Amino acid sequence: MIHETTASMAEWRVKLRSRLGDDIVLSESADMLPYCRDWHGDVTSNAVAVLRPRSTEQVAQAVKLCSELGLSIVPQGGNTGLVLGAVPDADANQVVLSLERMNRIRQIDADDFSAVVEAGCILSELKDAIAEKGMFFPLALGAQGTCRIGGNVSTNAGGINVLRYGMTRELIFGLEVVLPDGSIFDGLSTLRKDNRGIDLKQLFIGAEGTLGIITAVSVKLTPYPDQVATALLGLASLDDAIKLFRRARRDCCDLMSAFEFMPPLAFTLAKEAMPDLPIPIAADYPAYVLMEISGSGLVDIDDLMGRFLEAVMEEGIVLDGTLAASQTQARNLWLIREGMNEGQAKRGMHLRTDVSVKLSQLADFVAEAERAVAEAVPGSTCVSYGHVGDGNVHLNVLPAAEAEPEQRLEQIYVAKGAINAVLDRYQGSISAEHGIGRLKRGDFEARLSPVRRHLLTALKQAIDPGMVMNPGCQLNFPANS
């Protein structure tokens, strides 16, 4: 007997192929697998098809057809998102629309400090092409070799340079977006100042694909920082790290471009992922900071870093430190920060959080939340680290090594509850930069005020009345009445 959904699945696939062309549509399970599995491999689902258009017009055609067939669309960039926003729900009428073939750089204009690029361009490729012209696109994150600029805009990505250059939102001039009815919003201006009414592009930045499909982006560039000084520093506490951050902002003329906090466990975790990685500092300080100052032109960055470190070491804020003497040494210091992520993944399923509080409350929050986790999940290990200068910390929890998968899930759930209870007292955010996706929807909804919920729902109903775009992501929006 042929099951009804199997019949409609086959029917949908035939219609998608015949109207869009075989070249655009993937529907074999093996071909679709990489698009239906999240970055960590925690979730694998299924889709009616994966669509891979090559142009804005093909995206518009695909959107119109999906709407006609009653299919909803999950846009996908590099699929490096950490909150299940780009992976479809299992057992639903969803297609994945991948932007991976729309990866052309339309223009780089060094005189205007701007570039226009298609949404599927990989972030590191965009940065490299811009660097070749002597310019710099400051967005920088561990996933930059895989994530795509449309995904970065849709998640309003943060990363290591936020404290100097801002989140993705601050790096964008304009957007081109295919709306849920297939019409094209052309907002690709590169004007630096344009105050003509409501800034519509802001609706799509951080919307995680719930309002339309971003097909191209115009971005702001800055001069290439050809001088970079990188230091790994040992400190007595997170409190001292925050003191150091404030001093660096004042003393280094706002030229600090990165400030990453790590616990001593970072070295163990990085070594578990990369056994040959050199660790050029004693591993027994209670806290570490990886700090970068950068600039271009007439500023002497090495001199600035040297004088700054001398002062903070004399005052006892920094206990020990190592300054990278070459690009390779700087790269190795950054590999410790990246390796600690891989090391956590190697320890199995664990809780990953991405929370923020006011900078002045960060040290107290982390101490209180770690105490709450120790009480709620004895035997677990907290790993607190991240871009703390923004008040953002990844307070992750590794269940005990011997915990079985079921126990791990339970411990993750309990630890998350313990952290969020403390976070709510501090009036913090459950998502400082990764977004909501499907993973954090429940926690997001539970904290929405009635007015905010009303505004979000009204916006969704106005732009996507047919609920075509990324259902289940961010909110379970009620259908239009």
Give the pair of three-digit tokens for residue 113: 């400090």
Question: Are the C-beta atoms of 309 and 318 separated by less than 8 Å?
Answer: yes
| CA neighbours closer than 13 Å in the CB half-sphere of residue 97 | 34
Nearer to ligand FAD, 85 or 187 (CB): 85
Nearer to ligand FAD, 180 or 263 (CB): 180
Q: Which stretch binds ligand FAD (CB under 6 A): 68-76, 286-294, 324-332, 403-411?
A: 68-76
Rounded distance between C-alpha atoms, residue 461 and residue 459, angstroms: 5
| Residue from the set 350, 394, 434, 441 that interacts with ligand FAD by CB under 6 A | 434
Size of the site for ligand FAD (CB under 6 A): 37
Q: Which residue is nearest to ligand FAD (CB)?
A: 151
Give the pair of three-digit tokens for residue 117: 């690029």
- Any contact of residue 260 with ligand FAD (CB under 6 A)? no
Nearer to ligand FAD, 234 or 389 (CB): 389
Residue 436 CB, nearest approach to ligand FAD (Å):
9
**φ and ψ at 397, to 5 degrees?**
-130, 120
Q: Would you tell me how many other CB atoms lie within 10 Å of the CB of residue 303?
A: 11
Question: Are the C-beta atoms of 53 and 76 separated by less than 8 Å?
Answer: no
Residue 143 CB, nearest approach to ligand FAD (Å):
4
Rounded distance between C-alpha atoms, residue 269 and residue 286, angstroms: 15
Residue 247 CB, nearest approach to ligand FAD (Å):
24
Nearer to ligand FAD, 85 or 389 (CB): 85
Nearer to ligand FAD, 93 or 240 (CB): 93
Cα angle 112-138-174, degrees, rounded to a multiple of 5: 50
Nearer to ligand FAD, 119 or 309 (CB): 119
Closest CA to 24 of 33, 13, 36: 13
Binding mask 146-175 for ligand FAD (x = CB under 6 A): -xx-xxx-xx-xxx----------------
Residue 139 CB, nearest approach to ligand FAD (Å):
9
Residue 458 CB, nearest approach to ligand FAD (Å):
20
Cα–Cα separations (whole angstroms), residue 138 to 84, 124, 144, 453: 25, 11, 11, 33
Nearer to ligand FAD, 154 or 294 (CB): 154
Give the pair of three-digit tokens for residue 344: 């956590």
Question: Are the C-beta atoms of 191 and 112 separated by less than 8 Å?
Answer: no
| Residue from the set 174, 187, 209, 472 that interacts with ligand FAD by CB under 6 A | 209
Binding mask 69-98 for ligand FAD (x = CB under 6 A): -----xxxxxxxxx--xx------------
Residue 475 CB, nearest approach to ligand FAD (Å):
13
Rounded distance between C-alpha atoms, residue 278 and residue 307, angstroms: 26
Nearer to ligand FAD, 305 or 333 (CB): 333
Sheet hosting strand 355-356, strand order edge to edge: 355-356, 392-398, 381-385
Residue 259 CB, nearest approach to ligand FAD (Å):
13
What is the total residue count of the chain? 481
What's the burial of 443, exposed, middle or buried (CB within 10 Å: 0-12/13-18/19+)? middle
Residue identified by tokens 């074999």 is 28
Cα–Cα separations (whole angstroms), residue 462 to 68, 176, 208: 18, 19, 17
| Residue from the set 47, 130, 141, 340 that interacts with ligand FAD by CB under 6 A | 141
Residue identified by tokens 């105490």 is 371
Q: Which stretch binds ligand FAD (CB under 6 A): 207-215, 283-291, 316-324, 369-377?
A: 207-215
- Any contact of residue 119 with ligand FAD (CB under 6 A)? yes
Residues of span 453-472 touching ligand FAD by CB under 6 A: 470
Residues of span 211-240 touching ligand FAD by CB under 6 A: 213-214
Give the pair of three-digit tokens for residue 162: 């936020």
Residue 96 CB, nearest approach to ligand FAD (Å):
9
| Residue from the set 63, 143, 301, 419 that interacts with ligand FAD by CB under 6 A | 143
Residues of span 390-409 touching ligand FAD by CB under 6 A: none
DSSP 415: H
Residue 435 CB, nearest approach to ligand FAD (Å):
6
Which stretches does DSSP call E strand in 221-342? Answer: 222-223, 227-235, 256-262, 287-295, 320-323
Residues of span 321-350 touching ligand FAD by CB under 6 A: 341
Q: Which stretch binds ligand FAD (CB under 6 A): 42-50, 226-234, 249-257, 430-438?
A: 430-438
Rounded distance between C-alpha atoms, residue 318 and residue 313, angstroms: 5
- Give the 3-state secondary structure of residue 470: coil
**φ and ψ at 356, to 5 degrees?**
-145, 150
Nearer to ligand FAD, 235 or 436 (CB): 436
Rounded distance between C-alpha atoms, residue 451 and residue 114, angstroms: 37
Residue 179 CB, nearest approach to ligand FAD (Å):
11
Nearer to ligand FAD, 323 or 353 (CB): 353
- Give the 3-state secondary structure of residue 431: strand
Residues that bind ligand FAD (CB under 6 A): 39, 74-82, 85-86, 99, 119, 141-143, 147-148, 150-152, 154-155, 157-159, 208-209, 213-214, 341, 433-434, 437, 470, 473
